[in-house]
Amino acid sequence: MHQNGDYTHFYFCYRWFLLDFKRELLYEDVFSVWEVIWVAPHISSKHFVLFLALALVEVYREIIRDNNMDFTDIIKFFNEMAERHDVQHILQIARELVHKVQSLIENK
């Protein structure tokens, strides 16, 4: 991340947050993800949507890094990956990330 607070390079995930991942997932999977997002504030984190986005980046981290993708490449990559994600895997990683952060906070 830039130290000056310029996060415009995260524009590739703007659509994820704007539409709650609606365009990223298969129609059948959207409702499952929405249910998790809506219930998460009551059982794990009110910021679960951020962990979901982080999980998506985490899943494809090696591809992004190995191909030295820039801003435009990342947008193109995620546009091409729309409706091709393994939703259960993404949700599992998001849950694990939430638990890691909660564990770090508890063990301060």
Write the secondary structure of 23-76 as one string of H (helix), E (strand) and C (coil).
CCCCHHHHHHHHHHHHHHHHHCCCCHHHHHHHHHHHHCHHHHHHCCCCHHHHHH
59-69 pLDDT per residue, tens: 999 999 999 99
Please report, as a single letter, which amino acid is at residue 71: F
The candidate with the shortest Cα–Cα distance to 56, out of 9, 27, 17, 18, is 17
Structural domain boundaries, residue 67: 8-106
95 found inside a domain? yes
pLDDT at 7 (0 to 100): 52
On the question of pLDDT at 15 being above 90, the answer is: no
9 pLDDT above the threshold of 70:
no
Average pLDDT, the chain: 88
Is 1 a domain residue?
Answer: no
The reply to whether 61 falls in a domain is: yes
Three-class DSSP category at 92: helix
Q: What pLDDT is stored for residue 6 in this prediction?
A: 54
The number of domains in the chain is: 1
| pLDDT reported for residue 84 | 95
More confident site: 6 or 32: 32
